[in-house]
Chains A and B, each alone.
Chain A
Amino acid sequence: MTFLAQAGVLGIFVEGNFAPFVMMLLFTIIVYVMIQRARAGLKIPEIRKLAGLDALDEAIGRATEMGRPVFTFPGLAGVTNPQTLAYFGLLGHVAKRSAQYDTRLIAGNVDPYVYPISEEIVRQAYLEAGRPDAFNPDDVRFVAYDQFPATAAILGIYRRERPAATILYGAFWAESMILVENAAQIGAISIGATANTHQMPFFVAGCDYALIGEEMYAASAYVSKEPVLTGTVVGQDWARIGVFALIIVGTILAQVQTTNWLKTILGK
């Protein structure tokens, strides 16, 4: 890596990033192999049950029965946040189900880059569900480009449109508790998912179903049951097991050696 960095190959190699680069390559290979196995119809491990995701269809079904809309919101982060990317995967499923059940979907957005992508995903989902005529672009909304104005606007949507199900899925900050508490006040079933550690407690306390951390990244695979997506999650899980093994080995070495060679290698 040092040689490549000094040679200036493509200008993309940086000294001190050897271990992250190798780990990224390994993770990519594991995920790729799992996807290929899934594509070929070979057996891949199953994902364990996740109650929050099992509740998605129940929430949309409840909204259908009550004749009230479903509300989704990806939090405040932009497209460079993995949580937003996870939301995109979930939004497609929720929009498709809403179209199939003939239930109105309102998708709020804060980030101006996330907004057109959300709209396109919802439009595509309605098309795939065979109901392009039911898609209403006004229901994919840009609420405001700021934390609390957006929160105030969403509270307004809650009070006036009275969604029967609220799905908060992404990166949240101080607005999380306000949103889940108001969802409870209007009698909406709420599903919350975030990997922002400091906001997880509010989702756990205030939502009917909460997904924390890594659970939210498994969403699109879990709800769609599509083998290729499942292969991705299985690949990620194997990488996680690899990390677990590294921690065990590294900790054993830390007890018996003064200089932990594994730490030295990973630190490079």
Chain B
Amino acid sequence: MDGGTLTAALVTLALWTYLYKDNPIFRLAEHLFVAFSTAWWVGELYRNYVKPVVLEDILQQGRWGMVLALLLGVILYARFVPAISWLARYPMSWMLGYGAGYVLAFQVKPLVGQITGSFLKFGSINSVLLWICIVSALVYFFFTISRENVAVSSVATFGKWVILVALGAAFGNTVLFRYTLLMGRVEFMLRDVLKVAQ
């Protein structure tokens, strides 16, 4: 058995010990997992973001506008220096503004597609049922229309059940998928580690 397979097997077993209870072996695996992930991402982010911006964009291609972006990134660390920690609020405000703007720009168009997709021509029972489900689920999410109105309340309740049925189907689907993940790990242990299965 090569070192990689052995390590994978040991870490898998260490993580499975959590099924009994929290213990030092699980903690070791947990900390290794977190540490390796963090180290990998530091390298990855440096290679994909910091290095291309500093070495290629700024120093080689002379795109000096990127200095502003770099500066905003550096200012984020000002929060570790109490005297100038207020400076870090500027890049944070920038990020929040960017986030909100991005949402405004890109979230509306898919919504329009969903609306026009709901203009169903009733040619079958399925299309009628689908349309009723869409509309009633939408009514469930009305926050300002009183539920004391029997008609609204009935449609919203039906909408709630539609949502629950959909969630139940999704739940079963995902649980099955999780079983396949578990089977993959068990297969690895039996075939690659213990060599008791083909």
A positions within 8 Å CB-CB of B: 17, 19-21, 23-24, 27, 45-48, 78-82, 84-85, 88, 113, 116-117, 119-120, 143-146, 148-150, 152-153, 155-156, 159-160, 177, 197-198, 200-202, 204-205, 212-215, 218, 233-234, 237-238, 240-241, 243-244, 246-248, 250-251, 253-255, 260, 262-263, 266-267
Contacts and interface: CB of A to CB of B under 8 A. Distances in A.
Nearest to A84: B99
Contacts of A45: 144-145
B20 to A, nearest CB: 12
A145 B43 CA distance: 12
B118 interface: yes
A51 B7 CA distance: 47
Contact of B143 (A84, A159, A237): A237
Contact of B30 (A17, A155, A255, A267): A155
B5 interface: no
B95 interface: yes
A41 B25 CA distance: 60
Contact of B112 (A144, A197, A266): A266
Nearest to A27: B108
Contacts of B95: 79, 113, 117
Nearest to B99: A79
Interface in B47-74: none
B108 A23 contact: yes
26 contacts: A23-B108, A23-B111, A23-B112, A80-B98, A80-B99, A81-B103, A85-B103, A116-B92, A120-B92, A143-B34, A146-B37, A149-B38, A152-B30, A152-B33, A153-B34, A155-B30, A156-B27, A177-B178, A200-B170, A205-B171, A234-B144, A237-B142, A240-B138, A247-B118, A255-B121, A267-B116
